Amino acid sequence: MALPIGLMALSPWGVGVMLNTVLLGLAWGLPKKLLTPAGYLHAWALGVLVWGALGWRGYAVVMVYFLLGSAVTRVGMARKLAAGIAEGRSGVRGPENVWGSALVGALCALALVALSAGFPAGEPAPWPALLALAYVSSFSTKLADTTASEVGKAYGQRTFLITTLQPVPPGTEGAVSLEGTLAGLGGSLAIALVGWGIGLIPAWGMGVCLVAAFIATNLESVIGATLQTQIPWLTNELVNIINTAIGAMLALALGYLWLR
């Protein structure tokens, strides 16, 4: 991905500021809004952070997640609206959605920069590579969760509560379906393929992302079926942060075991 000569002279953070200002300015002018006004501001901050920390590779992962996540939220929207289980604001994202999805990834990016700066040149540095894997895995996990939920609510033929396997209506917290589960695997694979294709993770890292996302997404369903129904302050956004944190930590652990 070649940058204009003027941009190449800037620091990564300067490039991030300019690029995100232009892109979000264009997005703001589109008739179909993907974010609320505050959501655009927070997405700008996230984009600057990711580009400054990881450059275009990290940015590509976020952009693919955002575009696919926004698209899948609109899948079967008429059915979900009729059933009263559609996302609020018809899928338009706000600041809480931005950071619920990306806070863990942003922390991985910042930690990767800090650790990379601490390794002498030429010295093996497994932890930055593992943090890059955790970064990709966090978004792979989140897209798996989003895809499984949205496809399951729209097209799930038989929906079960994950803790009891009893049939429940689509949209119930902690509900799972075969259609949603398969779609979730596809979502996690999409982000893993992007991460591998741009050289952010190795080929074996795609398998790690798939396993981590599958486990984390199902644990998120367990949390939804149990704790979320009992604890008022445990919002969807907090559960999303927990979900992506589990996906990232599992990737760290599995990647570390692979490299031993």
- Model pLDDT for residues 190-241, shown as the tens digit of each residue: 999 999 999 999 999 999 999 999 999 999 999 999 998 888 889 989 999 9
Region 244-259 average pLDDT: 95
**pTM over 0.75, yes/no:** yes
Name the β-bridge partners of 176.
160
Residue 249 has pLDDT above 80, yes or no: yes
SS3 169: coil
In angstroms, the CA 254 to CA 130 distance is: 9
Region 10-28 average pLDDT: 88
Neighbours of 142 (CB within 10 A): 29
Residue 90 has pLDDT above 80, yes or no: no
Higher-scoring residue by pLDDT: 1, 94: 94
Print burial letters for 21-30: b (CB count within 10 Å at least 16), e (below 16): eeebeebeee
CB 173 within 8 A of CB 229: yes
Neighbours of 32 (CB within 10 A): 8
Residue 144 has pLDDT above 90, yes or no: yes
pLDDT at 160: 92
